[in-house]
Amino acid sequence: MYDKHYTRLNQYRSLWILVFFDLPTETRKERKIASTFRKKLLDDGFSMFQFSIYMRFCASRENAEVHTKRIKNNLPEHGKIGVMQITDKQFGMMELFYGKKLVETDKPSQQLELF
């Protein structure tokens, strides 16, 4: 019997990783470190949600753990970084506004996964 709760891609199994960061940028060296951290997020498939918030869709918890581990391996020595995983269902319940105008949330793009 087919059960939608156990399909590979559903709103409760798929996750969004949100990375929040506040890195020092006082010196040239600190700016380079912050820029490198951002570039590594982009190279790993994250996209900018807001200036210091990046997000990435993951089809499974295992996939999300791989990307979370990469973030932890690339943490700069200074600054604050937060990593949060939420389900696609929770992400879909977010209300986004541009000024006072409500805007639709982006749907996850189709990503090819090779095993």
Using an 8 Å Cβ cutoff, are 53 and 46 in contact? no
- The total number of residues written for the chain in this structure: 115
Does residue 22 have a known ligand-binding role?
yes
**What are phi and psi for residue 92, nearest 5 degrees?**
-65, -20
Q: Tokens 């090779």 appear where?
A: 114
46 within 8 A of 19, measured Cβ to Cβ: yes
Residue 105 structure tokens:
């949330």
Q: Are 41 and 71 in contact (CB under 8 A)?
A: yes
Residues at the binding site for Mg(2+) are: 22
Residues at the binding site are: 22
